[in-house]
Structure 1
Amino acid sequence: MTLTETNIGRDIAEDGKDDTGRSQQYKNNTKHEELRRRRTECSVEIRKQKGADLMMKRRNITDVEEDDEIVSESDNEEQQKTSHGSTRLSNEEVKNILSNNPSEDDMVRCFESLRKSLSKTKNPPIDEVIQSGLLIALVQALSVPNERVQYEAAWALTNIVSGTTAQTVAAVEAGATDPLIKLACHQSAQISEQALWAVANIAGDSAQLRDYVIKCHGVEALMMLMKRLDMLTDSHVRTVAWAFSNMCRHKNPHAPLEVLRILAKGLVKLVQHPDRQVRQDACWAVSYLTDGPDEQIELARESGVLSHVVALFREPESLVAPALRTLGNVATGNDTLTQAVIDLGVLSEILPLMEKTKSTSIVKECCWLLSNIIAGTQKQIQAVLDANLLPVLINVLKSGDHKCQFEASWALSNLAQGGTSRQIAALVEYNAVPALCAALNQTNTDMLNNTLETLYTVMVTIQNCYPNQMDHLHEQVEELGGLDALERLQESQSEAVYSQAYRIITEFFTDEPAADANSAENADPASPWNF
């Protein structure tokens, strides 16, 4: 068996690294396509979670002196005879025994020894096992009609495919995938869980290996397990949920739509499971599923899983994180999908969440979600204002963590770009000018552009629609140091920052006594903007 047609070695190094820049991650469906952002894996920070069991690859590590309970009762007595006090076999000794018509007891002893070696916490000898040629033996052992042999081989292979891509590909090319998927549906829960663990490791390695798992009927195996989910232990269901997560994870390319449609149906049940870890991994799976084109997001909406995702907002923050990511992804879709987020009652959950959390990551994700809703229609912008979330965004811009400030700047910029004159004027009403003036002292170019665009639009809107407030706004910008900051920004190396700062000064401040004496033109009181 060979996977050379998939170009795995070459392709995987590039998988998940396509970052086309922040400016292309924003959109306003009716005005500015660049305003709504599509989250890329390169920028993911919220998924920095504790524990090796939350990674794409998981190893089954145990005390090398610890013996395992084996499903078959007839094996228990034999296990006591062969395991306790047994010495570890070298790879050469294992090869010699397996090459000379071994008995089932011999096979158990050999594969148990391999499994224990590969279960070492530090520096497991994966490459040594591969180079010794024992991979083929482990794969063949999966088909031996002895549950103990199958279990030990599946465990050993789990730890091999938890390694590097090259190590995982070696196991796949040795033929491990198909028999492991078959064993994932074994009547023995212990063998089934261990084999599924290995399959999940393979799928989690790359989009190419995920597709190979799909080709070997891995999705069908998962759905068979879903039919008997209520009979599985929590540990087993956690492995199922994690396998779903890895099947949805990669996006270069995404899994086929028909596969994601099937997985979405299973996720509806998993995201409601009583076990918290199951719900968490299942929700991350939904977040990966929705991190794509509108057709993928629509699958999640049609499945009915999103209403259960919203319910996770009231759970611990380990569950809030994937729920926010999921709904933020949905809001990146078209206006209908964005409206679905609003209709689920998400906005009423955001305010109490932002008020109680101490996590800057949660605040940042809330601002990102809101910025994508605000990048929708004016009716959707109004829904954010009606939920009393504008003051929260302004406060984040004024005094939040710098990453949170960055997201808040996009939200306010989206409002300025797409809102009605009344909605834009709400920025003044809720005292956004001090926060905008303070943000002019930031160094991030994108944030400066957002802030300058927002301030310019606010001043144009007030000048044209609320002229009696213009003098106060003018004085406020000066008194808060905004004018000084604008003058400094005219020296910026960024052409966009310089141009926007120059535009604001030229149109709104050149007729002041403190203006540059070399400026011959005064600001034209008649703005071309028509609100």
Structure 2
Amino acid sequence: MSFFERKLKNRKEKFKQKASPQNSRSRRAEYNIKISHSKREMVLMKRRNITTTNNSKNEIYIPPLEKLPKLVDVIKNSEDTDKIEECTKMIRTMLSVEVDPPIDQIIETGVVPYFVEFLKDTNNIFLQFESAWILSNICTGSTDQTSYVVNLDVIPIFISLLDSDNNDVIEQSVWALGNISGDSLTFRDKILSYPNSFNKILSIFHLKEINESILNNTTWVVSSLCRGVPFAPYHKVKKALKYFANLCKETTTELLINACWGLSYLSSGNSQQIDDLISTKCLPRVVELIGHKSPDVIIPALRTIGNVVTGDSKQTQTALDCDLLVPLKKLFTHKREQIQKEACWVLSNITAGTRDQIRTIIQGGFIPVLYNLISETKIYTIQKESIWALSNAVWGGYDEDIIRLVESGICEVFDPWLQRRKEYSILKISLEAYAKILSVGQKISEEEGQEHNIYAYKLERLGVFEHIEKLSNYENQNIKQLVEYLLNTYFYNLQTKVEENENNSIDQDENNDSDYEF
């Protein structure tokens, strides 16, 4: 195995393959779009159930905070069920406002444990529902506020209420579980630790009278239980795949957003998880969704596809066979920068595939698009992913394709990145790209019987070797060795030949006693 074959094998393994089911792809962390910190996904974590009315003549009365002690006193001390129900409802309306609900003030009254007890009263659906709504909205607050509720041992109660005969109670209970799960991975795992909890939540999809609201909330909750790094234990949440796959066929934007996020979470593991996703036959629909009008649908759909193409070459080809490249190409000019970054990530993983897959990208006209992104965008992460995509194409491509890339100006593209001494990874892949280009140039020169490496001569004229030479004292040993290899193998050899030719020309000029005009 040659030097370049060994390097290519090692590089592809590091670039595309998954280290273990517990870890994300090797470059997902470097790419800096972390699942647990995505702005969009932060929005998905918790939802307050707001009290609204469409009838201006029937405005909902929200009591002032001054009345809270009296309301609490009735709940704690009265034996009148009607009054307790009315006061509970008023406290619920106080919590169901969009801005600054009085969560701490209500907790401080000591009334919250009463609402937990009301959840257990199977003879009073109204109190169950109102109490579930109150507790769910408290859990939209801070971690301390959510922890207070969780420590009252409400999780198993909410899980049991999923068997209720009342759909409103079911919906509010699953909503509460979603807000608890969205607070932290600890609470997510706590919910999943209860026997059969996830299956009970999935069973909501089978309700005979399921409406759009329950469907939306359940999809959001199931997605929430799958999200986060480290990932939820796959064996516990795997069954959600088929539900997300079916929900992708829907047309409502909210359902599509949550279903696609769910698919992206469940495919962010090992190769088997990618195969499981592919087996649902939802991939063509997910590819279709990257052309959706809503960026909030495009992003999770694109991330799901990105997960697939980080798999092996067969899995990558499955995505390509879904006519991926046509809608993907349009995303490079999308107004949303995050979508451009995700599109570059997807492309960089495809160019880490087989030679035929790289050729498909080149023939698809993506190279000029990448050149344009590097030269015109000011977003570093977009430039960086574009450089990765190009470097992968050089390393893994057929010699004929590398020749085309050189003719298209790829040698000039990597040069500015050699001057970014602090960017180790970009320095390395730029130098490796030049190494592969020079190896192809050496083959061409030997086949054509030329004295010098035509690409070495080209890089010399472009000033690339000068920039490479300045890295001779680079602090990283890998970079230093690569620079030494390039200089010794190509540059110094070229320099010697050029000097010999110049000396021969001078001797000939002196012998012929003639001037040579440049």
Q: Which amino acid aligns with 2:32?
A: S
Aligned partners of 2:327 and 2:88: how far apart in 1? 53
Q: Which of 314, 331, 334 does residue 309 from structure 2 map onto?
A: 331
Find the aligned partners of 1:220 and 1:360 in 2 and give their Cα distance.
Answer: 38
Deviation at 1:291? 0.9
Superposed, 1:121-520 pairs within 5 Å as 121-144=98-121, 145-184=123-162, 186-214=164-192, 215=194, 217-228=196-207, 231-233=210-212, 235-257=213-235, 259-316=236-293, 317-354=295-332, 356-400=333-377, 401-442=379-420, 443-467=422-446, 472-511=454-493
Is this contact kept in 2: 1:487–1:501, CA < 8 A? yes
Q: Which runs of structure 2 are paired with 1:101-140 in the superposition (5 Å)?
A: 101-140=78-117
- SS of corresponding position for 1:55: helix
SS in 1 for 2:45: coil
1:503 CA drift (Å) = 3.2
TM-score normalised to structure 1 length: 0.78
Change (3 A) 1:434 1:51: closer
- Percent sequence identity over matched residues? 28
Name the amino acid aligned to 1:380.
Q
Quote the offset at 1:465 in angstroms: 3.7
**In 2, are the aligned partners of 1:279 and 1:319 still within 8 Å (CA)?**
yes
CA distance in 2, matches of 1:481, 1:347: 35
Residue 59 of structure 1: which of 38, 44, 48 is its match? 48
Distance of 2:267 and 2:276 partners within structure 1: 8
SS at match of 1:35: helix
Secondary structure of the corresponding residue to residue 489 of structure 1? coil
Helix, strand or coil at the partner of 2:308: helix
Distance 1:221 1:42 in 2: 36
The amino acid that maps onto 1:232 is: N
Q: Which protein is bigger by CA-based radius of gyration? A: 2
Aligned residues of 1:196 and 1:240 also touching (Cα < 8 A): yes
Is contact 1:290-1:300 (8 Å) kept? yes
1:491 and 1:498 in contact (8 A); partners too: yes
In the TM superposition, residue 390 of structure 1 has moved relative to its aligned partner by 3.2
Letter in 1 for 2:306: G
TM-score (norm 2): 0.80
**Hey, what's the Cα distance between the residues in 2 that align with 1:403 and 1:229?**
48
Shift of 1:500: 3.0
In 2: Cα distance, 1:232 partner to 1:219 partner: 20
The corresponding residue for 1:33 is 13
Residue 455 of structure 1, CA deviation: 1.1
Q: How far apart are residue 512 of structure 1 and its match?
A: 5.8
Q: Distance in 1 between matches of 2:131 and 2:224?
A: 22
How many Å apart are 1:200 and its aligned residue? 0.9
Aligned to 1:510, what secondary structure does the other structure show? helix
CA positional deviation for 1:94: 4.2
* Residues 332-377 of structure 1, C-alpha deviations (whole Å, 9 max, x = no match): 22333222222222123322332x4233322221221122122233
Q: Is contact 1:297–1:333 with CA below 8 Å preserved after alignment?
A: yes
Does structure 2 conserve the Cα–Cα contact (< 8 Å) formed by 1:200 and 1:243? Answer: yes
Q: Which runs of 5+ in 1 are unaligned?
A: 1-26, 70-78, 518-531
C-alpha separation in 2, matches of 1:151 and 1:158: 10
Equivalent residue letter for 2:191: V
Q: Give me the CA root mean square deviation.
A: 3.4
| Displacement after TM superposition at 1:327 (Å) | 0.8
| Contiguous gaps of at least 5 residues in structure 2 | 1-6, 17-24, 500-518
**Relative to structure 1, is the Cα distance of residues 28 and 342 closer, same or farther in structure 2, using a 3 angstrom cutoff?**
farther
Counterpart amino acid of residue 248 in structure 1:
C
- Given that 2:402 and 2:437 are in contact with CA atoms closer than 8 Å, whether structure 1 keeps it comes out as yes
State the shift of 1:265 in Å: 1.1
CA distance in 1, matches of 2:105, 2:358: 60
Q: Which has the higher helix share?
A: 2
